[in-house]
Each structure stands twice: as structure tokens, then as C-alpha cells.
Structure 1
Amino acid sequence: MKKILLSIVMSLLSIAGFAQEIPFKISKSELFKDEFKHSNIALAEDDGNGGILLVRTYSGGMFSGSYGYYFEHYDSNMKLIKEYEYNPKESKDVKQSGILGLISNGDEINIINFLYNKTEKAFICVSMTANIADFNFKSKELFRINSEEVKRFGMFSRVSDFDGDSGASMIVNEDRTAFAITVDIKDKESETHKIYLFDNQLNKKIEHIFKRDIKDRKFRYENIDVSKDASTLYLLGKVYSDDAKKKKEGGRYQYELTRITNDNQKTQVFDTDEHFSASLKAIVFSDRVTCIGFYSDRNDNRYKGISYFELDPITLDIKKSKFNPFTEQFMVDKYGKDKDKELRNLSFRRILITTNNDIIFNAEEFYITTHTYSTPNGGMVTRTLFHYDDIVSAKINPSGDIVWARNINKRQVSSGDNPYLSYTSTARGNDAYFFINAGEKVKKLRNDRIQFGQTSNKRSNLNVIRVNQNGDFDFQEILDDKDNEVPFMVSDGILSGDSVYFLGQKGKKKQLLKVTL
């Protein structure tokens, strides 16, 4: 009996040990209603006086065709100072239009739009720019490309033509001082992109044609990163070459990192030897370029650890190549004890850089399942489920070694893409933070583990999880569902300084939440 009581006490102490005080401050806006149901925070910029300028996109739904922006200026207590609605009006010559992104340069906001002008038979990239004092938007053309050059995408593409990097995309550097735009160019024999780099004053820094002599379908674009001085682009691609096919072990592909400046282009080829790295991400520092991702020794969707490559930012010489297996602590988090298992279905979520230039590499165990059922009248119904399961996080130091790796157990499922599930991550100092919605109770698992459970659009409690510089984690509920009139879209959090902003919605009612760490 004493042993049973002792066991119960120890379990309660273990659960209590997780519940530490995490310093934070919460501010909410007043409840409000918009004309349009669908809305998301697209940008958050500090106003220099403790307040914030928020930009929200809105749309009228699939069949409406209406879209636009709400510009909202709040003080430090989330009291609305000023608001403005902007509904872009396209000319009759514009057949297709899509917003690539937003970037600001202090008092000015730039909306970057990529459109097709059927009269001029050209794809044109324009910036709609306004000062936040008057929101008097003016259009400026950044570049144009003859329509015959551009590989069709979106409503113009055929399924057989589509590949993952079709169309145009915009990449903003970490300091938000510059942005790059890449456009897929039509070429049956070669992977070809036109790439442009602008600073946040809309000055063009680079115009470059990236070309790889390999069929488009054999080149997979991984990502682009921009140097901090806004003068250099780094493009990472995954290539299925003839030489890579001859490998006896590992993946039948190679990675290629290309350094692009206004004067030249240089490429470094490397592969993951006997390992499989299904995907890598390039991260640019002032003194190095790193490529980081998950790897496996079996196949491309059973991950065993984290691969790390370090290259010289000028010469692209490979300085380090490491394959870090998941730590014993990680395996205990995941399975309760050290087991010879690997993860499946990991999706990148966000890469964070600490004050010590450590990399915090975050992912989620995300996958989709379909289930077919028989109906009473003899018919068949197919249901698709979106699973948002465990959070995977690891810290890598500047030497490429794992400082810690943790698995946060989570089980969430939805019948569609659901912004109230998943999570938003950020870093403050050398600690990592994760914001998630969860049910009323945190489930106790074996081996002193916990699991965050299911939530719904109508009922969710907002929690913050902290992983400190040593890899120890704790958590705290910061908003109880009973105290909120709306649940918050936790996967769409926007970061600005030490604060994270969330939009909440229930029916027509909306509210903005600011959480400062």
C-alpha cells in the first residue's frame, strides 16, 4: 500500500514539475466584426512607440472574388488608433493577379503583386506602396516578363505541366531588409528561373537568370535565402542526376547550393553519402551558410536524426558535414524509452536563430489519411483527415552538434486544414517557445511524459511551452477557453520583437491577441 501511495505522490510531483511560471503579458483588442468572414494576419510591424501596425488580408470566399487588406494601428495596450481598408482595383486588362507578399521600410508599406496583363501579353510585378500616415497607395512597376517566357501556373497550368516551383514566389530575409522574387521560366530542356533581389526601399540589387542543364522535373527547388547585407542570394536545389542514379547507397540525388551576386554565379555540389535526406533548408549567417534537414538510413520518410552541412559563404567550400542521430532524451520523449525507431511524416514549420547563433529547427508530425465508409443506403463516403501530431524541435550549435532534441507529444486531427490546430513557435534569448491550443486536460503518459490533446474551433485553451537553453521544458496555460469569447488561430501567429499576435474568431466576432514574452 505504501508503494502504491508513493507512486501516486511521485506521479503528481512529476506533473507539477512541468507547471512552472513562464513570464508573459497578454493584451487583447476590443471585439469587432468584419464584412468578410475569411481573414488572416499578414504582417506585424513595430511603430517605434510601443504600438503595432497590423495588416490583415481578407477574402469573400471561393466564389466571391473579393479580396483586400485591413490596416490597423494599435497602441501598446491593443487599443485601436487608426484603421484603413484597401481593396485593390485591377484594370480590365488584368486577367490574373496574385499577392506575393508584404514588406515595410518604416513608415511605408509595400504590397508586392504579380499579375498578367492580357493586352500587353506580359507578366508584371508591381508594388502598391503607401505611407501609413495617409494610406495613399501608388503603383510602381518592379519588372516585367514576356508571357511566352513564363511557365504557366495557377489557372493557366495543366496538371501535366505543374511542378512545385511553378509561377512566382517571394522570399524575405530574416531582418526584413530585402526580398527576392523567383519566376519559373518555360524551358523543356533546362531548369530555368529569373531571380530578382530588391531592398525594402524597392531598389533592384540583382537580376539574374538561373539555369541548370537538367529537365525541370529532375530539379527540385528547396529554398532561397538572402544575405544580411542584401547583396547575395543562395539557392538550394535537389537534383536527380545521372551520376546520382549510380550510387549504391543512400538517395539517388544530390544537393546543389548556388551563390548568386550581381556579377556571377557559383555552385557547390554535395550529397548525403549513404544517408537519405529527403529535404534540406539553407540558412545564411554572416560567416557561414548552413544546410540542415532530417535524415534516415532506410528511406525518405523514416527519419533518424538531423543532417548538417556548413559551407564558406564566399567560396562555398564544404567545411563541415555531420549526421546527428536523435538523442536518447528525444527517444524517451517520443516512445517512453530508448527504442530503435524513426519518425515519419515530418514537415518543416519554422527555423529560429538564438542570440548565440544556435539554430532551433522545428517540425511537426503532419500527415493526411483518407477513410471510406459504407452508407446505410449502399453508397460509399470518403472522409479526409488532417493529422497534426507531435512537435519535433532540436537546437544545433554553430559547430553543427545537437545541443538538445525534444519531442512534445500532441494528438490533433481535423477534417480539413485548421488554423486552430498545429502551433506557432518563436525564440527569446536562448529559449524556444511554442504556442498551442489544447483540451481541458493534459494527458499523463508512461515514463513521466505528457501529451496535449484534441481541441476544437469552439473550445480551446491556449498554452505556451518553453524549452530552455539546456533542453528542459515546461508549460503553462495562458488563456482558458471559459475566459475567451473567441478561440485563437494558433497556427497563424505573426512575430514582431518579443511579441506574438493571433487572430481569434467565432462566427462573425473577431479579436486580436498580443502575447509578450
Structure 2
Amino acid sequence: MKKNLFCLALILLSLFSFAQKIPFEIKKSALFKDEYKNSTIVLAEDDGKGGVVIVRSYYGGTFSTGFGYYFEHYNSDLKLIKEFEYEIKYSKVVRQSSVLGIIMDGEKVHIIDFIYEKDQKAYICSSISASINDFNFKKTELFRVDSEEIRQFAFLGFGVFDSDSGARMIVNEDRTAFAVTVDIKDRNVETHKMFVFDQSLKKNIDYTFKRDIKDRKFVYENIDVSRDGKTIYILGKVYTEEQRKKKEGGKYQYELTSISEGSVKTQVFDSEEHFAASLKTIVLDDRLVCIGFYSDRKDRRFKGICYSELNPITLEIKKVKYNTFTEQFLVDKYGKDKDKELKNLSFRKIITTSNGDIIFNAEEFYLTVSTFTGPYGGGSSQTIYHYDDIVTARINKNGEIVWARNINKRQKTSGDESYISYTSTALANDAYFFINTGEKVRKLSNDRIQFGQTNTRRSNLNVIKINENGDFDYQEILDDEDNEVPFMVSNDVISGNSTFFMGRKGTKKLLLKISL
């Protein structure tokens, strides 16, 4: 009997070990309404006095047209000090347009705009700039490209670079510089114009990147700007004739090119007998890292994490590692050690810790289509977006896995994706994840937990902490019953050790600040 009671106590202790106290502070703004229902936080900047400047993009719906930005200055208690609405309007000669992004330089805010002006037969990139003290916006041209050079205008979605068309803005990690890249029309030679500016709009690089290969055989994996804003790194996945003849592994090679004033270097490397479906670059102070998932069988069934480290100046390859997933990870994922490989993983965010380790995050993301047939024939289809398990791993400076964990999650939607998925951040050497769930956290076998479905009618906000040893706890931050609005957990903005979320239900909105 005593033995049974002891075992029961151990089981209860292991279950409750997940719910340790995680220190955090929350602040909310007052509930407010906008003229426009749809708005998203795009920027949060500390004002140097404990407050924050929030920039939100807005756009009209079916019955209300309009596009622009709300600028809001809050004090340390999230009380609104000043607000300003700036609507983006174009003349009749503008045929195509898009705002590529926003960057701040002290009290100055720059909206980076890209348009096609028919009368000038040119695509023009400009900055619409103002001080947050008076919001007197003025337009300054940054560069232009003749319309005969550029591909048919098509802008890219956030976080995805398309090798075939469009323009994109890339901001470096410290938000001190940005690049604008434009695809140039040439089927036989992959060509992009690359422009790099610092936050005060000084142009550091104006370069036309060319690779002597057909456009469709060069896939952009990643484009990064160095911390000093004077170098741009281009990572491409290239399908060459030589690689096509390989007997094992992926039939492609990776090419990393660094471009700075007066210097262009390229390093070629491949995944040997492995398949590395996709890689991401990370620009650190003294390291340049390419990291991604790899498999030994086919591109989308992953076995572990590959790591390549290069010298950021010379691009010399310093080390290459292939790390298989840990036993702990397999237990998290499957309940016990099984010989399985993951699939459908999408990069979400890469974080560096205070000691230089890399926290590499991904999510099981895939689409399914449901078809409905009516009683009298005909029918319709619906696309379902699935956001399942979170995969996270910590890689040290030697390129080795310190820990790898799987956070079980089952979420899907056919509508607004803002309330599902997750946000990740780090403080010191700990990783944090913010997740919504519409139900209590479910306990699984082998000390595992699972976060379930959420929606705009019921959504509880949770935080997960993974410490430097890979141990994790979770805690509910806000219960659905205590909030008038659910929070868009996948649309966040981070400033310092604070993460900002917008809550929305209908026209009602609220700003939430979580400080770790």
C-alpha cells in the first residue's frame, strides 16, 4: 500500500512539475475602437522614457476602403499620450503600389514605399518620413528601376522571398539597416538589384546580383543584412547540371554570397549524401551560420538539424555538423523512442541567446482541402490551415544540439490565422513561447502536454518557458473569461524584454504588453 501511495505521489509530482511559477508582468491599454476593423501591429519602439511607440497598419473591408497606419505613443502604463492616423493615397498615374516596411531612426519614422508610375515608366522606391512629434510626412526618392528591366509587379508575403518576381524589404536584427531587393527580368541569368540603407536612409550598397543560371533553377533561401549595415548575404539553392548527376543526397548545392562596398565573395557547399530541403542564415558578431533540417531519405521527412559555420568576412567554411534528433525529442513527439522522421516543418523564428547559442524554431504546418457536395449536385471546397506541433532546438557554438523539444499542439482554421500558431522570444538563456488554447491543457503519457484548438469565441493565453537545460514549464497568463477580446498570438512585435499583442473582437480592440 505504501509503495502504491509513493508511486502515486511521484506521478502527481511529475504532472504538477509543468505548472511552475514563470515571472512576468502584464499591462493592458484601454479598450478602443477604430474606424477600420482590420489592423495589425507592425512596429514597437521604446521611446527611451519607459513608454513605447506602436505602429499599426490598417485596411478597409468590403464596405470601407482605405489603407494606412495608426501611430500611437503610450506611456509606461500603456496610457495613450498621442495618436495620429496617416492614410496612404496615390495619384492616378500610380498603377501598382505597396508599402514594403517601416523602420525608425530615433524620433523619425520611415515608411518604405514601392510604386509603379505609368507616366515615368519606372518603379520608384521612396521613403515617406516624419518625426513622431509632428507627423509632418514628406516623401524622398531612394531609387528607381526602369519598367523595361523589372518583372511583372508582384509583391511578396511577409517572411517569404519569392525568386520569380517582386520587391522585398529586409531589416537587420538590430533594426539599424535594411535592404530592398528587386527582381530583374532575365530568364537565362538570375538577376536582382540589391540596395542597402542605414536607418537614416544613407545608401551603403547599390549592386546588381547575377548568377549565370536559368531563373527557375536558382531559389532564394535567405537574404540578410549585417549588423553594421555594410554587408548583405544572399543564400541560394542552385540546381546545377553537375549536382543533377549526384548518386546520393540532394541534387542541388547551396551558394552563399556576401556583397559589401567593393567586395563580392561566394562560397559553395552541399549536403553531401543528405537532403537539406531548406536553410536559413544567421548573422552573428563573429560567425555566419547556415542552419536547417535534414533527412537521409527525401526532402520533407526530417531526421535532424544540420549546421554549417562560415567566417563572415572570408566565407571560409569552419565546421559542418549533422545532429540527429535527441531521445528526449522523440519521447516528446511520440511518447516513446520510435524510429520516425518528421515532415511538414516550416521555419518560424531563429533566436540567439545571451551566450551565443542559437534557438531554432519551426512548426508542423500543412494544408488540407475539404470538398462539400450539395443535395442537388454542385459543391464547394474549403482550405484548412493546420498549425500542429512546435519543434524547438538549442544549438551551441560548436554546432551541437544542447537540447531539442517538441511541444504538442493541434490547431487549425479556415479563417483568420492570427489567433493560432505561436510567438517565440528569449530572455537571457531561456526560451519562451506564447500560445492560445480554447480548452484546458491536455496531459499526455510520459509527462507530456498538448495545447488544443482555439478561436475568437474562446481563447486562453499561455506562456511556455524552456530553460538552458531543456526543462520546460507552462502557465496560463490570461483566461478567456477575464478578457473582452482574444489576442492575435501569431502577430506580435517585440521590444526589449516585452512582447506586444493586439486583441480584437469585431471592432473592439486592446493592446497587451507582456514583460518577462
TM over 0.5: yes
Alignment of 1:170-209 (within 5 A): 170-209=169-208
Shift of 1:92: 1.8
Matched positions, count? 512
User: Which residue of 1 is the match for residue 248 of structure 2?
Assistant: 249
Q: Cα deviation per residue 1:350-370 (whole Å; 9 max; x = unaligned)?
A: 111111111111111111011
Q: 1:163 to 1:41 in 2, by over 3 A?
A: closer
User: Which residue of 1 is the match for residue 343 of structure 2?
Assistant: 344
SS in 1 for 2:328: helix
Q: 1:225 to 1:62 in 2, by over 3 A?
A: farther
Unaligned ranges ≥5, structure 1: 157-161
Question: CA contact under 8 A between 2:44 and 2:52: conserved in structure 1?
Answer: yes
Q: 1:478 to 1:69 in 2, by over 3 A?
A: same
Structure 2: which amino acid aligns with 1:196?
A: F
User: Which residue of 1 is the match for residue 117 of structure 2?
Assistant: 117
User: Which residue of 2 is the match for residue 167 of structure 1?
Assistant: 166
SS in 1 for 2:277: coil
Moved more, 53-62 or 421-430: 53-62
Is structure 2 residue 66 aligned with structure 1 residue 66?
A: yes
Give me the whole-angstrom Cα distance separating, in 2, the residues matched to 1:268 and 1:64. Answer: 51
Q: Cα deviation per residue 1:7-55 (whole Å; 9 max; x = unaligned)?
A: 5544332221100110000000000000111100000000000100000
Question: CA contact under 8 A between 1:412 and 1:454: conserved in structure 2?
Answer: yes
Shift of 1:5: 5.9
Q: 1:218 to 1:447 in 2, by over 3 A?
A: same
Give me the whole-angstrom Cα distance separating, in 2, the residues matched to 1:487 and 1:348. Answer: 25
RMSD: 1.6
User: Which residue of 2 is the match for residue 140 of structure 1?
Assistant: 140
User: Which residue of 1 is the match for residue 397 of structure 2?
Assistant: 398
Give me the whole-angstrom Cα distance separating, in 1, the residues matched to 2:194 and 2:4. Answer: 66
User: Which residue of 2 is the match for residue 491 of structure 1?
Assistant: 490
Q: 1:144 to 1:390 in 2, by over 3 A?
A: same
Give me the whole-angstrom Cα distance separating, in 2, the residues matched to 1:90 and 1:53. Answer: 26
Give me the whole-angstrom Cα distance separating, in 2, the residues matched to 1:417 and 1:211. Answer: 39
Shift of 1:65: 4.7
Alignment of 1:4-15 (within 5 A): 8-15=8-15
Question: CA contact under 8 A between 1:165 and 1:221: conserved in structure 2?
Answer: no
Question: CA contact under 8 A between 1:386 and 1:417: conserved in structure 2?
Answer: no
Structure 2: which amino acid aligns with 1:114?
A: F
Q: 1:320 to 1:155 in 2, by over 3 A?
A: closer
SS in 1 for 2:333: helix
Q: Cα deviation per residue 1:338-387 (whole Å; 9 max; x = unaligned)?
A: 11101111111111111111111111111101122333334333222111
Q: Cα deviation per residue 1:200-256 (whole Å; 9 max; x = unaligned)?
A: 000000000100000110000011111111111110000011011011011110000
Is structure 2 residue 384 aligned with structure 1 residue 385?
A: yes
Question: CA contact under 8 A between 1:384 and 1:416: conserved in structure 2?
Answer: no
Question: CA contact under 8 A between 2:429 and 2:467: conserved in structure 1?
Answer: yes
User: Which residue of 1 is the match for residue 95 of structure 2?
Assistant: 95
Give me the whole-angstrom Cα distance separating, in 2, the residues matched to 1:91 and 1:234. Answer: 36
User: Which residue of 2 is the match for residue 370 of structure 1?
Assistant: 369
Q: Cα deviation per residue 1:412-444 (whole Å; 9 max; x = unaligned)?
A: 111134100000000000100000001231111
Q: 1:467 to 1:512 in 2, by over 3 A?
A: same
Give me the whole-angstrom Cα distance separating, in 2, the residues matched to 1:417 and 1:347. Answer: 19
Is structure 2 residue 423 aligned with structure 1 residue 424?
A: yes
Shift of 1:509: 0.5
SS in 2 for 1:283: strand
State the TM-score, normalized to the length of structure 2: 0.97
User: Which residue of 1 is the match for residue 324 of structure 2?
Assistant: 325
User: Which residue of 2 is the match for residue 277 of structure 1?
Assistant: 276
Is structure 2 residue 406 aligned with structure 1 residue 410?
A: no
Shift of 1:134: 0.3
State the TM-score, normalized to the length of structure 1: 0.96
Give me the whole-angstrom Cα distance separating, in 2, the residues matched to 1:137 and 1:278. Answer: 44
User: Which residue of 2 is the match for residue 47 of structure 1?
Assistant: 47
User: Which residue of 2 is the match for residue 309 of structure 1?
Assistant: 308
Structure 2: which amino acid aligns with 1:327?
A: T
Unaligned ranges ≥5, structure 2: none
Q: Cα deviation per residue 1:75-133 (whole Å; 9 max; x = unaligned)?
A: 11100000000012212211111010000011100000010010000000000000000
User: Which residue of 2 is the match for residue 435 of structure 1?
Assistant: 434
Q: 1:6 to 1:310 in 2, by over 3 A?
A: same
Structure 1: which amino acid aligns with 2:445?
A: R
Question: CA contact under 8 A between 1:163 and 1:217: conserved in structure 2?
Answer: no
Shift of 1:188: 1.6
Question: CA contact under 8 A between 1:42 and 1:55: conserved in structure 2?
Answer: yes
Structure 1: which amino acid aligns with 2:36?
A: F
Give me the whole-angstrom Cα distance separating, in 1, the residues matched to 2:391 and 2:468. Answer: 16
Question: CA contact under 8 A between 1:439 and 1:453: conserved in structure 2?
Answer: yes
Structure 2: which amino acid aligns with 1:299?
A: K
Question: CA contact under 8 A between 1:465 and 1:473: conserved in structure 2?
Answer: yes
Structure 1: which amino acid aligns with 2:476?
A: E
Structure 2: which amino acid aligns with 1:116?
A: Y
Q: Cα deviation per residue 1:393-430 (whole Å; 9 max; x = unaligned)?
A: 11111111111110000011111341000000000001
Structure 2: which amino acid aligns with 1:273?
A: E
User: Which residue of 2 is the match for residue 159 of structure 1?
Assistant: none
Give me the whole-angstrom Cα distance separating, in 1, the residues matched to 2:300 and 2:63. Answer: 37
Q: 1:96 to 1:60 in 2, by over 3 A?
A: same
Question: CA contact under 8 A between 1:172 and 1:178: conserved in structure 2?
Answer: yes
Give me the whole-angstrom Cα distance separating, in 1, the residues matched to 2:295 and 2:61. Answer: 41
Structure 1: which amino acid aligns with 2:380?
A: V
SS in 2 for 1:18: helix
Alignment of 1:248-267 (within 5 A): 248-267=247-266
Give me the whole-angstrom Cα distance separating, in 1, the residues matched to 2:333 and 2:175. Answer: 36
Give me the whole-angstrom Cα distance separating, in 1, the residues matched to 2:507 and 2:107. Answer: 31
Question: CA contact under 8 A between 1:303 and 1:344: conserved in structure 2?
Answer: yes
Is structure 2 residue 513 aligned with structure 1 residue 514?
A: yes
Give me the whole-angstrom Cα distance separating, in 2, the residues matched to 1:32 and 1:145. Answer: 42
Shift of 1:154: 2.5
Give me the whole-angstrom Cα distance separating, in 2, the residues matched to 1:134 and 1:16. Answer: 53
Shift of 1:6: 5.6
Is structure 2 residue 360 aligned with structure 1 residue 361?
A: yes
Is structure 2 residue 451 aligned with structure 1 residue 452?
A: yes
